[in-house]
A = this chain, B = another copy of it.
Amino acid sequence: MQDAFFTSKQAAEMTGCTLRQLQYWREKGVVVPTISDTGTGRSVYYSRSEVMELAVMEYCLGVGLNFEVAAATVKGLKDEGLFLSSDEKAPQRFMLCWEREKGKLELVEFDVKKANTFLKQGQPVIPVWLDEIYQRLSLKWQQ
């Protein structure tokens, strides 16, 4: 059970985030570690699903999206319970599409035909493939 939790430093190393980012996202309520003993100020532990949330934040920011979009993406996936899901059939591939009517990016399941239709109309498509994002974590994950 214990090895399913990671210190801030481990979580930062695994995901390529900085400790400062982790702290900022804790303060903003974007990724909040389950175990956070504020008594010592150092006992912050991230669960596996929270490390996944960090990885998605890092991915979104890394491809040039702003903080609000990145945080909304993590929230959207979290609300669907997708970080906690152990169901192997749960969808893994999503995309952010520009919904002209709503005037914002919407997170939907990845569909290459639908993506292509958006592109042909000159509308952005940003894939958010959890399987790929997690795969980059997997090596350090085993430690």
Contact = CB atoms under 8 A, between A and B. Distances in A.
A37 interface: no
A65 B129 CA distance: 19
- Interface SS of A by simple majority: mixed
B127 A132 contact: no
A96 interface: yes
A45 to B, nearest CB: 30
Counted per complex, copies of this chain come to 2
A112 B63 CA distance: 20
Interface residues of A, number: 29
B129 A96 contact: no
A115 B122 contact: no
A123 interface: yes
Interface string A108-143: 001010011001101111110100100000000000
